[in-house]
Structure 1
Amino acid sequence: MTAPRTTAAPATGASRVARGCAAAVAFLFAGAAVLLAFGSTVEMESFPGLRENLAPLAVYLLVFAVPAAAAGLAMAGWRSAAGWAAAAVVGVLVAVRLWTLAPMLHCWSHDSVGRNDDGSYHCVNRGDMLP
């Protein structure tokens, strides 16, 4: 004897709206994380000199943005064109940010990053600079 088949009830308008709002919140969180990742290291790229090493913080923010965008896409629905567009925008922004962070990631364990005149980065521990 087999179990009776149950069919899922079609999504009501209220549940679709709730899912859409939850997806929007997830995409907003992902976008805010990417924006903070850009903002946390933009000073390092602007002019030569020593700066606090915030590259690890930027990487962590980008790592949080990816699952948030995936959750937003899952909540929006796999067939949602707006969900795919938002996920693509977040993905491109994450890739661009990682591309610009890559040269300074070798300084991960140092507390400061210095930018040279030629655009390269050198790692500095400010505690080592004391007499």
Structure 2
Amino acid sequence: MTGAVRGVLAGVLLVLSGFVVLFSWTGLNEVTSPESFPGIRDNHAPIVVIMLGIGLLPPAAALWLVRRLGRAGRAMALCGAVAVLALTAPIVSDVAPMLHCWEADGIAQQPDGSYKCYDRSWF
């Protein structure tokens, strides 16, 4: 595989990864905005964590693809991977407090910012 093909493929992987990470953020939109969406919401935290894990695989593959390229190609791929990680950081900080509700069906943000778990089989 030529260097140009490796570079283009690495760029496509990084863009795809950015879309997956941004799409995972939409699963938290309702829960993290209780003023816009009050009440018990569906618990999408496990799905978001899985999507973040999937979204971090393409940057690793992109960095592996460009290992034989010149310094400029490796630097661009590294900048793209760091940008994807920068997109991931606020999502991780939003989903981390919800992880104790992993098996719950519903979740609601309390006034103090914590999250309460609800099992919808009880109501």
Deviation at 1:126, TM superposition (A): 1.2
Equivalent pairs: percent with the same residue? 34
Which AA in structure 2 matches 1:125?
D
Alignment partner, residue 21 of structure 1: 8
Deviation at 1:103, TM superposition (A): 0.5
Summarize the alignment of residues 1-131 of structure 1 with structure 2, pairs less than 5 Å apart. Answer: 15-47=2-34, 48-77=38-67, 79=71, 80-129=74-123
Compare relative contact order (CA 8 Å, sep 6+) and give the higher one, 1 or 2: 2
Q: What is the total number of aligned residue pairs between the two structures?
A: 116
The CA RMSD over aligned residues, in Å, is 1.6
Q: Tell me whether 98-107 or 69-78 shows the greater mean CA deviation.
A: 69-78
Deviation at 1:76, TM superposition (A): 2.9
Partners of 2:96 and 2:107 in 1: how far apart?
13
Unaligned residue ranges in structure 1 (runs of 5+): 1-10
Name the SS for the 2:107 alignment partner.
Answer: strand
The Cα offsets for residues 39-90 of structure 1, whole Å up to 9 and x where unpaired, read as 1111110114211000111000110111211111222337321111111111
Name the SS for the 2:46 alignment partner.
Answer: helix
What TM-score do you get using the length of structure 1 for normalisation? Answer: 0.81
Partners of 2:94 and 2:11 in 1: how far apart?
27
Alignment partner, residue 7 of structure 1: none
Name the SS for the 2:104 alignment partner.
Answer: coil
Rg bigger for which structure? 1
Which AA in structure 1 matches 2:122?
D
